[in-house]
Structure 1
Amino acid sequence: MEKKDMVEIEGIVTRTHPAGFFRVLLDNQETILASISGNIRQKSIRILVGDRVKVELHICDLTRGRIIHRFRKAKS
């Protein structure tokens, strides 16, 4: 897949599933099923419910995606 066929959008993790899958509520109020990218898996970055993430979607299937970045939470 080429990079031009991908769309990046932000959202919030709402639910976890086994084997590294997550339900993500996107900023446009759509819910998708997203998996973890290899880079996040390799660096053992934990993703929890409520985390803000950046998801990469392919233009052919906008219901499934790949989590490519987890944003840090603001310190209170």
Structure 2
Amino acid sequence: MGALILRWLWKPVAVLLALLAVWWRGRASTKQQTALEAAEAYARTRKDMDDASDLGNDPDAARRWLRERYANQR
């Protein structure tokens, strides 16, 4: 009786395991792509900060520049 049940259940279990493996790989790929996009965004932001005009030591000017930059990205 147990062998009969196993004979009928191994196919659905194999399909479920295959679907789980595909889902798992897709999730890992998404995490990797998200990390890559975050690194690219950081690099762009860092480059923009390095290329920004010299604002001197005035914190208000720096805040104003950041607010304007943020408003332009929306």
Tell me if both proteins adopt one fold, taking TM over 0.5 as the criterion.
no
Higher relative contact order (CA 8 A, sep 6+): 1
Structure in which a larger fraction of residues adopt strand: 1
Q: What is the TM-score with the length of structure 2 in the denominator?
A: 0.18
Larger radius of gyration between Structure 1 and Structure 2: 2
Structure (1/2) with the larger helix percentage: 2
Give TM-score scaled by structure 1 length: 0.18
